[in-house]
A and B are shown apart, each in its own frame.
Chain A
């Protein structure tokens, strides 16, 4: 009788562990997918802010046409880029173009005093931060998930149900080099 109860308790504990671990793995994996789409959301937000910025600058610095066109073109390329590698590269070009634009606007005191311009500058800076944080959160989620599927005893479950290791988001090689600012 006692043996029966002990076996019953052990089976119950095993079942509980099974349920909690499996659900934990599912939740962690879904968080990765969510984090990935978050990156996209922040990138879109950045694309949406740029036309407004270009219009504001045009109002004060119309003869900086080349810089303005570079930004618009870079933005279009980034929106149309396919796949993470191409997108990463296009993003870098866009960042460079924006840096040039802000550098150029230093020469126009009226523009710098314009409240709209200042707000847009602040918004763009924080959006770039957000993209970085979204990527960081994605990598943190991947780390958490990979740890779980590789640690005992959860790795047994992971093997049984095909929970696979996920890849980190890596910065493009160009991103770690110096950024060209062209006047």
Chain B
């Protein structure tokens, strides 16, 4: 359990560091091809950061509105409130606002920029299907997202991806319209090769950044599983819940691509890996926000 947690935290750190490195490399490539200097990089980062942090501050309202969540009444949803209160004591967290989504598909999400401004939502479908320990496992996973500041981590990642995409886009546009260095020193073989490399990098960078962002999202999901179990000290609860989710193919109606990574199970239509002969290639799986349920169950069983 503790090893899982440190392993995932280390991987997150590595991925974040690679993000920074990627931004730096793209900036250098940009600079090399266009000679705009540091100004271009700063502008791109500022724009991306501005957009990302604006959305970060209103993330909870946006996510709740997008999924048509309603506040959960304490008397009607006594068990839901009680379970969350117990887990908050175990985690040392303030109790988040609780919401309910009227949807037969079982799912849950957590959002909010820090534990003081957090919100958790579950679907009516989830409450119907899960028993007490399973529901507790799911809620522990969601609270772990809050505790681990996953909204913040996700926002930093999105900022980096945005900055890279902006730089790459701007760089390519300017090149196309005939911009470029007039530097005589770089004429010749070496300069041309580096130029081509820089160009390839600008084209591929946004794609690489997206893949990295999805990789980090998957690691944070595994971290939330492990942290959740650290709260309940009862892996079978979450294992049983995930197995029930595996059996249920229903998909949430009001989910969007943008909020996909907040849910406990990917809310988007996907080819299930076990259907027929169709195996999902590495490239296919690289764009998943959530690790496959089988993998999550296997890791939990080993704890």
Contacts and interface: CB of A to CB of B under 8 A. Distances in A.
Interface string B53-88: 000000000000000000000000011001101110
Contact of B89 (A31, A122, A133): A133
A26 to B, nearest CB: 16
A167 B120 CA distance: 35
Interface in A30-44: 31, 35, 38, 42
Contacts of B247: none
Interface residues of A, number: 16
A129 to B, nearest CB: 4
A71 B82 CA distance: 24
The A interface is mostly helix, strand or loop, or mixed, namely: helix
Nearest to B92: A137
B200 interface: no
B86 A129 contact: yes
B207 interface: no
A175 B78 CA distance: 28
Given A119-B78, A122-B78, A136-B233, A130 B89 contact: yes
Contacts of B83: 126, 129
A130 B78 contact: no
B82 A42 contact: no
A42 B89 contact: yes
Contacts of B21: none
Contact of A136 (B78, B82, B90): B90
Nearest to B75: A119
Contacts of A122: 78-79, 82
Nearest to B78: A122
A31 B91 CA distance: 12
A69 interface: no
Interface residues of B, number: 12
Interface in A88-108: none
A134 B86 CA distance: 8
A147 to B, nearest CB: 12
- Residue of A35, A42, A122, A130 with most chain B CB atoms under a 10 A cut-off: A130
B90 A126 contact: no
Contacts of B233: 136
Interface in B83-129: 83, 85-87, 89-92
A174 to B, nearest CB: 21
Contacts of B86: 126, 129-130, 133
A126 B82 contact: yes
A38 to B, nearest CB: 7
A123 interface: yes
A140 B82 CA distance: 21
B82 A123 contact: yes
A3 B8 CA distance: 42
Contacts of A31: 92
A42 B82 CA distance: 13
B87 to A, nearest CB: 7
A35 B90 CA distance: 10
A159 B89 CA distance: 31
Contacts of B82: 122-123, 126, 129
A137 B85 contact: no
A145 B135 CA distance: 31
Given A119-B78, A122-B79, A126-B83, A133 B90 contact: yes
Interface of A: 31, 35, 38, 42, 119, 122-123, 126, 129-130, 133-134, 136-137, 140-141
11 contacts: A38-B89, A122-B78, A122-B79, A123-B78, A126-B83, A126-B85, A129-B82, A129-B83, A129-B86, A130-B86, A137-B89
Closest 9 CB pairs of A and B: A126-B82, A133-B90, A133-B89, A129-B86, A130-B86, A133-B86, A134-B89, A137-B90, A136-B90
